[in-house]
Amino acid sequence: MTPRHTHSAFLYYMAIIISSGLFSFAWLISLMQDVNAICGKQQFNITRNAITIWTLLIVQVVSIFYLIIHLGDPTPSGQEFHLFISSFTIITNLSLVFYIIVVIVRIYRDILMASGTPSHTKDILKIILLTFLMYLSLPYLQNKVNLLLEKR
């Protein structure tokens, strides 16, 4: 396994802000690669996770654009379909958020195991809360990953 170099949490977080959150998905994939390198085995199937995340994101964006384009469709059948697409968009969004939270919690758990630190429920809840606060969990996790990578 090739040694990975550390990443600047500050620069990555600035990229999230500049990209309106889109860079967070690329950062998440980078963190999965780092955890695989730290653990010396494949904890995460990067390809499967990337395809799942990007597919959910693309479906969500297409659904939102469809809703914007057809906003105010006066036909009754158009309104029913509009309601269906709205519901579909909400379900897709919740699925994406849930999937990301599960991946972030797994990354955190693997980082703790690699560092020999026990995991507590309050720590998991903190990571989930930080994720809801504009992905603040990512710089937190990156700093922990960087420490482990520097020790190698």
According to the model, what pLDDT value does residue 33 have?
94
Q: Quote the CA–CA distance of 114 and 130 in Å, as a whole number.
A: 21
Does residue 82 register a pLDDT over 80?
no
pLDDT at 3: 46
Q: Above 80 in pLDDT, residue 108?
A: yes
Closest CA to 67 of 88, 94, 85: 85
pLDDT at 69: 81
Nearest by Cα to 121 from 108, 111, 133: 108
Q: What pLDDT score was predicted for residue 73? A: 65
Predicted model pTM: 0.84
pLDDT at 76: 59
pLDDT above 80 for 72 = no
Say yes or no to pLDDT of 56 above 60: yes
With contact defined as beta carbons under 8 Å apart, do 99 and 52 qualify? yes
- Mean pLDDT of all residues in 91-114: 93
Contact, 35 vs 111, CB < 8 A? yes
Contacts of 137 (CB under 8 A, 6+ apart): 104, 108, 127, 128, 130, 131
Q: Quick one: how far is CA 34 from the chain centroid?
A: 15
